[in-house]
Amino acid sequence: MGDQTNPFESLREQIDDAAAHLDADEGVLTRLKNPERVLETNLTFELDDGSLETVRAYRSQFNGDRGPYKGGIRYHPGVTRDEVKALSGWMAYKCAVVDIPYGGGKGGIAIDPSDYSESELERLTRSFAAELRPLIGEDRDIPAPDVNTGQREMNWIKDTYETLENTTAPGVITGKALDSGGSEGRVEATGRSVALSAREAFDWLDRDIAGATVAVQGYGNAGSVAAALIDDLGGDVVAVSDSSGGVHNPDGFDPRAVKAHKNETGSVVGYDGAASVTNDELLTLDVDLLVPAALENAVDETLARDVSADVIVEAANGPLTPDADDVLAERDVTVVPDILANAGGVTVSYFEWVQNRQRFGWTEERVNEELERVIVDAFDRLVESHEANDVKNLRTAAYVVAISRIVNAYDQAGNWP
Ligand code: GLU
């Protein structure tokens, strides 16, 4: 844990790996390795005691060849310019892999939100929304939740934007609460695509997910929902963790009960009937399926040598370093890459945006059915690309698909004098 690999360098390496299998123009590839623009801003907001605080915030618009920039906003002390650039690139490739009509963007504020009260977070969020106003819009750039942000922050951003623009434009942001124009199924969507990807991967390997043992690192929205849905598929969740530590019971436990314990106490640690494990121990447990669902660089080259799982499904963005990826490919560990596995979030964001534009809501059943179709189709396309291109792993197969789609859109747009 704590590997210092620069995520932006990881992204560029992933693009280079795929480019070796593509007949793409060098100049176009350079374009696809850099964000189109990055906003870096200092936000000053008032604390409850009347004093002022200034914090650093970013929005990177990576690529808009296939549609409006799309991607979340995270609140985390580790947010940097390069991290946001990488995350925005991963969004562009993610949207292309699942073939939804968006480009990629990402934003972040370098804070620990637990240091602030709700009213302080509201003033800060509204100040960021006002700063973003000229850049975002239903057809320009559409933010969403990410690490440590959720419906509450999205509702504030929507309200700030609509108030300043003197209009209603719910599609300016996704991941809103249902009564503020959100979609059924959006909260569970990231975890749902992780579970679907795991099911498809086991199927591809001629194995059954029912009875498979599972460890989940990170127990926020993505990790906890993935664990519950994998449990519904018959998987046996034996270990989970969060930033405070983890719990392990080789006989398995009810992932929903662990979530209830976390909601009550703030952490999975101390859950009854399970032994403690560290995050690093959890990542190397002898399980069939490992789901890293926390932050970037959770598994580096050294740790990758000790990973015992046969299958890794990435719920987080960028949880494996490129060196770890190479070790795992050599060791024949199947990795379902983040840009497919966690794409459920942005896919249902797309459904939310469609519903907002049409002013017509879908049932949860329809959302989940359409999501399943998108993820299963994208997985099949990845497997085809893997077989046709003789690539080292499913990640490179995914980038081959995604880069081709973006390059085609760029080429078809023609020349601008
Ligand atoms: N933050 C999520 C992601 O990394 C969702 C983005 C979105 O819904 O636009 O994919």
The tens place of each residue's pLDDT in the chain, 417 residues long, gives 457 899 999 999 999 999 999 998 999 999 999 999 999 999 999 999 999 999 999 999 999 999 999 999 999 999 999 999 999 999 999 999 999 999 999 999 999 999 999 999 999 999 999 999 999 999 999 999 999 999 999 999 999 999 999 999 999 999 999 999 999 999 999 999 999 999 999 999 999 999 999 999 999 999 999 999 999 999 999 999 999 999 999 999 999 999 999 999 999 999 998 999 999 999 999 999 999 999 999 999 999 999 999 999 999 999 999 999 999 999 999 999 999 999 999 999 999 999 999 999 999 999 999 999 999 999 999 999 999 989 999 999 999 999 999 999 999 999 876
Which tokens is 175 given?
A: 């991941």
Phi-psi region of 353 (alpha: psi -120 to 50; beta: other; left: phi over 0): alpha
CA of residue 250 to ligand 1 center, whole Å: 33
Determine whether the shortest distance from the Cβ of 345 to ligand 1 is under 6 A. yes
Determine whether the shortest distance from the Cβ of 318 to ligand 1 is under 6 A. no
**What whole-number distance in Å separates Cα of residue 232 and Cα of residue 245?**
25
| Pocket residue to mutate for ligand 1, from 66, 146, 158, most atoms within 8 A of Cβ | 146
Determine whether the shortest distance from the Cβ of 339 to ligand 1 is under 6 A. no
Examine the residue annotation and report whether 85 is marked as an active-site residue of this protein.
no
CA of residue 274 to ligand 1 center, whole Å: 32
Nearest CA to ligand 1 atom 7: 346
Shortest-distance atom of ligand 1 to CA 317? 4
Q: Which residue in the block uniquely carries the two structure tokens 């789609």?
A: 405
pLDDT at position 416: 75
Question: Which is it for the CA torsion 119, 122, 128, 131, positive or negative?
Answer: negative
Determine whether the shortest distance from the Cβ of 246 to ligand 1 is under 6 A. no
Domains of the chain from N-terminus onward: 34-175 (3.40.50.10860), 189-336 (3.40.50.720)
Which tokens is 359 given?
A: 């002013």
Determine whether the shortest distance from the Cβ of 103 to ligand 1 is under 6 A. no
Shortest-distance atom of ligand 1 to CA 142? 9
CA of residue 84 to ligand 1 center, whole Å: 13
Determine whether the shortest distance from the Cβ of 98 to ligand 1 is under 6 A. no
Determine whether the shortest distance from the Cβ of 193 to ligand 1 is under 6 A. no
CA of residue 87 to ligand 1 center, whole Å: 10
pLDDT at position 2: 52
337 close to 105: Cβ distance less than 8 angstroms: no
pLDDT at position 1: 44
Q: Which residue in the block uniquely carries the two structure tokens 């799309």?
A: 70
Q: Against a cut of 0.85, is the pTM above it?
A: yes
CA of residue 141 to ligand 1 center, whole Å: 13
pLDDT at position 318: 97
pLDDT at position 142: 98
Instruction: Select which of 106, 158, 259, 262 is catalytic.
Output: 106
Residue 411 β-bridge partners: none
